[in-house]
């Protein structure tokens, strides 16, 4: 259960990061509301996950999932280039997150 919540919280990190970028410095209402809700849910989920998982591992997995998802969303929206080098580094990051899960 803790791992599921942690993964969901990492995905929500990408949601709030993307909404923050779309909020235009909190001038646009919908992205600002989405940012606040996703941020609260993401942090709450991370806090819950840390009650059953090691803190360092939880944080590293949360950040890793959020970072990968944020880059993929930005690339899908045409806001960021995803070349071979970036894709390889993202795969390395995913491998690191999976490795942390395996050894925990």
Show pLDDT as tens, one digit a residue, over the chain (104 residues).
999 999 999 999 999 999 999 999 999 999 999 999 999 999 999 999 999 999 999 999 999 999 999 999 999 999 999 999 999 999 999 999 889 888 87
Query: How far is the C-alpha of 94 from the C-alpha of 97, rounded, in Å?
Result: 5
Residue 44 confidence (pLDDT): 98
Over its C-alpha atoms, the chain yields an Rg (Å, rounded) of: 14
Query: How far is the C-alpha of 44 from the C-alpha of 39, rounded, in Å?
Result: 8
Predicted structure pTM score? 0.90
Residue 104 confidence (pLDDT): 76
Residue 93 confidence (pLDDT): 94
């Amino acid at each position: 259960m803790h791992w599921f919540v942690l993964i969901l919280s990492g995905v929500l990190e990408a949601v709030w990061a993307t909404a923050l970028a779309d909020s235009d410095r909190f001038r646009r209402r919908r992205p600002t509301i989405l940012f606040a809700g996703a941020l609260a849910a993401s942090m709450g989920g991370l806090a819950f996950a840390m009650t059953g998982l090691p803190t360092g591992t939880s944080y590293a997995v949360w950040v890793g999932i959020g970072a990968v998802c944020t880059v993929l969303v930005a690339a899908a929206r045409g806001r960021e280039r995803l070349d071979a080098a970036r894709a390889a580094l993202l795969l390395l990051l995913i491998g690191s997150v999976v490795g942390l899960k395996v050894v925990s």
